């Protein structure tokens, strides 16, 4: 029965680590100003193949 406990703890640690990674990415994403987002989108548009407007 002890291995069930170890498996449960490992699962909990995995979920907690995933949550931490997602939270860090979300903070990084929200730290952009609207001007930075606009500039980055324009850069991506300029690099994209195909028709440009």
Within 13 Å of residue 21, how many CA atoms lie on the same side as its CB? 6
- pLDDT for 52: 56
- What is the tens place of the pLDDT at every residue in 11-45? 999 999 999 999 998 888 888 888 998 999 999 99
- pLDDT for 23: 92
List the structure tokens of 43. Answer: 């850069």
Q: How confident is the model at residue 53 (pLDDT cuts 50, 70, 90)?
A: low
Specify the pTM: 0.49
Report the 3 state secondary structure along the chain.
Answer: CHHHHHHHHHHHHHHHHHHHHHHHHHHHHHCCCHHHHHHHHHHHHHHCCCCCC
């Amino acid at each position: 029965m002890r291995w069930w406990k170890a498996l449960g703890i490992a699962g909990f640690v995995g979920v907690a680590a995933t949550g931490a990674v997602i939270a860090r990415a979300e903070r990084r994403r929200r730290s952009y100003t609207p001007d930075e987002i606009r500039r980055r989108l324009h850069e991506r548009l300029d690099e994209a193949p195909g028709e440009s407007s």
